[in-house]
Amino acid sequence: MEVNITTKSALYVDYCNRISVLEYDEKKRFQEADTARTSGNHPTDFETLKPAEQDVLLYWITQVMVHSDRYDKQTSYGMKHNFEGEAFYITNGMFKGAMLMLEYAPKDESALNWEFKVKPCIKRSRITRRYYETLSDYELYRLPKFDPAFAGLLLRTKHLTIEDLLKEAEKGVERVQERVSVPWQ
């Protein structure tokens, strides 16, 4: 499944328009927003990623999390680190922009690290509660096994070589074996 967004989501455009108006209306807000932009925390930083990198980030998000009724304790900053563990470096702002593109609204736009109404894709009902509670946020928000589509997207970005891909495939087999040994109900 390839995620390719050719038009900006309504939520993303709305956010950018509101920020633009606020920046011009309030000098202090403008300075704060300008500082956020230069420090890598502004959602429009998403647009600085190459299209292939945007596809990788958007695909990863769609594979590791889904919409929820509650805000998750994991923030945009923590989730960006989870992504970096499987792909490449991005800023907090790039991650925020990707979440807006996928229609995830933040709890508080003025916060540095945003919280979203998300939950991991892992099926809690298929594993015991005790095992689920032992998983760290990093283990919850990651691809559960080697994903050929994700690897293909990464190859297009030049952030992954064929040699690295073979190593990742081996790790993927290990991850599948780890999941098989999960204490199923």
Cα–Cα distances (Å) from 180 to 21, 61, 176, in that order, read 52, 24, 6
DSSP-derived pairing of the beta strands 118-120 and 65-67 = antiparallel
Q: Which residue has the higher pLDDT, 43 or 19?
A: 43
Q: In this structure, is residue 132 part of a structural domain?
A: yes
Is pLDDT at 50 greater than 80 in this prediction?
Answer: yes
Residue 180, pLDDT above cutoff 60: no
Full domain range(s) for residue 37: 10-142
Whether 123 is in a domain gets the answer yes
How many domains would you assign to the chain?
Answer: 1
4 lies in a domain?
no
Asked, for residue 113, whether it belongs to a domain, the answer is yes
Does 5 fall in a domain? no
Question: Would you say residue 161 lies in a domain?
Answer: no
- Single out the residue of 39, 72, 59, 77 nearest to residue 155, CA to CA: 59
User: Which residue did the predictor score with more confidence, 78 or 31?
Assistant: 78
For 131, which DSSP code?
Answer: H
Mean pLDDT, rounded, for 155-170: 79
179/50 Cα distance (integer angstroms) = 34
Residue 49 covered by a domain: yes
Any domain includes 183: no
pLDDT at 132 over 80: no
Rounded mean pLDDT of 45-51? Answer: 93
Prediction pTM value: 0.71
- Contact assessment for residue 175 and residue 145, using Cβ atoms and an 8 Å cutoff: yes
